[in-house]
Amino acid sequence: MGIEQLVSDMRTWRRHLHAHPEFGFEEKLTAAFVAAKLREFGLDAVVEGVGGTGVVGTLKRGSGNRSIALRADMDALRIPEQGAVPYISRNPGLMHACGHDGHTAMLLGAARMLTEEGGFDGTVRFVFQPAEEWGRGALAMIEDGIMQRFPFDEIYGMHNMPGLPVGHFETRPGAIMSAEDNFEIVLRGVGGHAARPHGGNEVLVAACALVTNLQTIVSRRLNPTDISVVSVTEFLTDGTRNALPGLARILGDARSFRPEVSAAIERQMRVIAEGTALSYNISAEVSYTREFVPLLNDPALTDEAFAAAAEVFEPENIALRREPMTGSEDFARFLDFVPGCFVFLGNGAQSAPLHNPTYDFNDDGLLYGASFHASIVRRRLPLT
C-alpha cells in the first residue's frame, strides 16, 4: 500500500463517518465500521462492546512484552450541521463538530500502516472510545475492565486544534487540559402575580443577583495564580409573561487544574448560594459534580512525543504549548492508571472553532496524525 492510497482511504473513511454521526454510547454503526476495518487490516484481535460501544484492536509483533495504547474518540455532538459539504451529516440534529471522525480515521490509518509495515517489537492496543463529549466513555471502558483485559504500559491520544496550521504540532508536560465540574443551583420561593410582587416571594431577582455573585469566586475568592473559570450557562424559571417565578434553576460549569481549586470553587459556591438565598428569604440547593479530571501529561513521555513528532513534522512546526487550555478531555481518566501524553495537531488557521455548526475536520491533517501514531509506537516499542 502506498501513502497516496492510504491518504485517499483515510479521507473516504473520515467523510463516511462525518456523514453518519452518532451520539455517545449510540455509536453502533461507527463501532461496527471501525471493527470491520481493523479485521480487514488483519489485526490479531478485535473486540467490540468494550464500555458499551467501544472497540479495542490488538496488534502484536516480535517477542517484546511491553504494550502501548493509542486512543481515538468516536462520538458526535447534538448540533445541527450548517455546512455545505457533500458529506454533510445525514442524521438530523447530530454532527461531528469536534473532529472525532478525523481522530478515528487517523487511528485506523495508523492501524493499517503498522499492520502492513511493522517496525516495532511488542503489542499495540488501538482504543476506539465512545462518549468522550460528556465524560463517560473512558470511565465506561475502565469499568468494563479494559486495563485488565487489554493491559498496556502507557497511552497516547491526540486532538485537532482549529487556529493551528495543518502540519503543526503542540503539547506540553504536566497540566494541558482542565477538569470540568458541573453545577445546578435551585432556588425556591413563592411565585405570584407580576402586578403584586409583594404578595409572594419570587426568586427571579435573587437568581439574577446569584449569577452576578458567582462571578466573584474566581475574581475575589481564588488565588489569581490558579487558572480557573466559573460559567453560568443556563437560567430557567417557572415564570411567564405576567407571573413571577417561584422556582429558578441556574446551571453551569467550572474549570480548574488542581483538586484543591475545584474544592474551593464548590465551597465558595455553596456559601454564596446560601447567603444570597438568605438575603432574599428563599431557599437554595446546590448540586455539584465532577465530570472530567485534569489531564496531566507525563514529562518523560512528553519528551518522547516531541521526539516522535520530529520524525513527522518540520522542526519549525513543532512547539511547546506555553499554557494549558481550559477545555476538558476524558482521556485523562486513563492517566489514573498508566502514564501517557496528549497532543494537538493543527486543523488549519482558518478552521471554524470546535463545537461550531460549520466546523469540519481538515483532511490535509490525516497523514500527520496517522504517521505520528506510528512513530510513537516504533519509538516506544523499538526493534531489538
- Stretch 36-49: mean pLDDT: 98
pLDDT of residue 13: 98
Segment 162-207, tens digit of pLDDT: 999 999 999 999 999 999 999 999 999 999 999 999 999 999 999 9
Is residue 333 pLDDT above 90, yes or no?
yes
The residue-averaged pLDDT of 109-138 equals 97
Q: Say what the pLDDT of residue 376 is.
A: 98
Instruction: Classify 382 as helix, strand or coil.
Output: coil
Residue 146 has pLDDT above 80, yes or no: yes
Bridge partners of 341, per DSSP, are 156
Contact 135, 39 (CB under 8 A): no
Q: What is the pLDDT of residue 36?
A: 98
pLDDT score of 1 more than 80: no
Please determine, for residue 366, whether its predicted confidence score (pLDDT) is greater than 80. Answer: yes
Would residue 344 be called left, alpha or beta, if left means φ above 0 and alpha means ψ between -120 and 50 degrees? beta
Can you give the pLDDT at residue 52? Answer: 98
299 pLDDT band (50/70/90 cuts)?
very high
Q: Which residues of 356-378 are buried (b: 16+ CB within 10 A; e: fewer)?
A: beebbbbbebbbbbbbbbbbbbb
Going along the chain from its start, the domains and CATH numbers come out as: 3-177+294-380 (3.40.630.10), 180-292 (3.30.70.360)
Residue 351: the pLDDT is 98
Pull the grid cell for residue 329.
Answer: 478531555
Reported as a single tens digit per residue, the pLDDT across 341-353 is 999 999 999 999 9
Rounded mean pLDDT, 93-105: 98
Q: Which amino acid is at 238?
A: D
* Angstrom distance (rounded) from CA 322 to CA 104: 27
**Average confidence (pLDDT) over 247-261:** 97
The whole-number average pLDDT for the span 40-59 is 98
Task: Categorize the per-residue pLDDT at 255 as very low, low, confident or very high, splitting at 50, 70 and 90.
Answer: very high
pLDDT at 83: 85
Average pLDDT, the chain: 97
pLDDT band at residue 380 using 50, 70 and 90 as cut-offs: very high
Distance between CA atoms of residues 279 and 267, nearest Å: 19
**266-293 mean pLDDT:** 97
The 10s digit of each residue's pLDDT in 301-310 is 999 999 999 9
Nearby residues of 126 by Cβ (< 8 Å), 6 or more positions away: 38, 43, 55, 56, 57, 58, 59, 69, 70, 72, 107, 110, 111
Per-residue pLDDT tens over the stretch 66-83: 999 999 999 999 999 998
Q: Is the pLDDT reported for residue 384 higher than 90?
A: no
